Amino acid sequence: MQRFLCLHTLPAGSMTKDQVYQIADAVQHDARVHGYRSFLNLSEGKGCCILEANDRETIASWFQMMGIPYDCIVPVELEGERGVIEDLRESLAPAGVA
């Protein structure tokens, strides 16, 4: 599975914390899409999440099924945490290809 960065704009205050919990639970139990990490500001209607799936179309379909609007879904190329950067493109290259 590949990681995708998903950005969201919602009407401010339109989603509750309970709805977020329900969505988080649903994405952990889906066979095609898995939640990795998310960041939300419900009062301003902004969010981003990292999801794992085989392709962006699968994620778009899942968002549509769940009624979740999104601005974009893009593959994650570089992932960093506390100053350590990992190039995820290397893990996606076919064997023998650098």
Domains of the chain: 2-92 (3.30.70.3090)
Over 70: is that where the pLDDT of 16 sits?
A: yes
pTM: 0.85
pLDDT-based confidence at 81, cuts 50/70/90? confident
Q: What is the mean pLDDT of residues 50-64?
A: 97
CB 12 within 8 A of CB 43: yes
Tell me which residue of 42, 36, 22 sits closest to 79, measured CA to CA: 36
Based on the number of CB atoms within 10 Å of its own CB, is 95 exposed (0-12), middle (13-18) or buried (19 or more)? Answer: exposed
